[in-house]
Amino acid sequence: MERVIVVGIDPGKDGALVAIAADGSIERTVLAKEQWVSGGQWLPAQVMRSLVDLDVSMVVVEKQQARPMQGRSSVLQTGYGWGILVGVCAGLGIRCQEVTARKWQRQMHAGFSAEMQPKQRSCAASARLLPMLDLTPGRRTKPHDGLADAGLLALYGHRVLKGEG
């Protein structure tokens, strides 16, 4: 039986990559802040290495969009990283599922209070659904919300592959 590994990526500046196998084991985590490469980009080098090393079945990435009052440079940087990610997946022949935050959060945040902020809901949902994912790596004392989002995106991807998403 082929081993199915899904990678979830939160492409933000405080984002992360989480690779999860079908049995729920965490295959790899990469934190954006710990992996800066030249030009302030972390995605190209780290994502490509992870996708090749792990023989990934699918990548799930949160669809990026410009937000009101966001600067042009920030929008360009966000689009640049997102475009590279989608291009790397296409070049490697890996299925890339782009999903809006609203869509994946509706499913993965089910059962949590709407009064909580989305990042708080992600941390709580990740702690419940992915207890093996360490949200406070290293010397962190507060949960890493980018890591929580990336883990939930990967879990969402497994559900999509099973036809549940």
Task: Tell me the domain boundaries of the chain.
Answer: 5-161
Band of pLDDT at residue 11, cut at 50, 70 and 90: confident
Structure tokens of 44?
């190209």
Per the listing, tokens 């090393």 go with 53
5-161 CATH, one of 3.30.1540.20, 3.90.1150.10, 3.40.50.720, 3.30.420.10: 3.30.420.10
Nearest to 48 by CA among 12, 86, 14: 86
Q: Any bridge partners for residue 60, and if so which?
A: 8, 97
Q: Count the Cβ atoms, other than its own, within 10 Å of residue 127.
A: 14
How far apart, in whole angstroms, are the C-alpha atoms of residue 53 and residue 25?
Answer: 16
Secondary structure E strands in 4-56: 5-10, 16-21, 26-31
Q: Report the percentage of the chain scoring pLDDT > 70.
A: 79
Q: Give the model's confidence band at 31: pLDDT under 50 very low, under 70 low, under 90 confident, else very high.
A: confident
E strand or H helix at 101: helix 101-108
Q: How many degrees, rounded to 5, is the angle at CA 109 between CA 24 and CA 99?
A: 80
More confident residue, 34 or 56: 56
pLDDT per residue as tens digits for the range 128-151: 999 999 999 888 899 999 999 999
Side-chain half-sphere CA neighbours of 148 within 13 A: 21
pLDDT at 34: 61
Average pLDDT over residues 6-10: 92
State yes or no: pLDDT of 37 exceeds 60: no
In one letter, which amino acid is 66? Answer: A
- Say what the pLDDT of residue 38 is: 42
Q: What six digits make up the tokens of 107?
A: 């499913």
Exposed, middle or buried: residue 157 (CB in 10 Å: 0-12, 13-18, 19+)?
buried
Joined tokens for residue 20: 């999860």
The percent of residues in the chain predicted with pLDDT above 90, rounded, is: 42
pLDDT of residue 122 exceeding 60: yes
Write down the residue that tokens 């080098």 correspond to: 45
For the chain, give the mean pLDDT. 83
pLDDT over 60 at 105, yes or no: yes
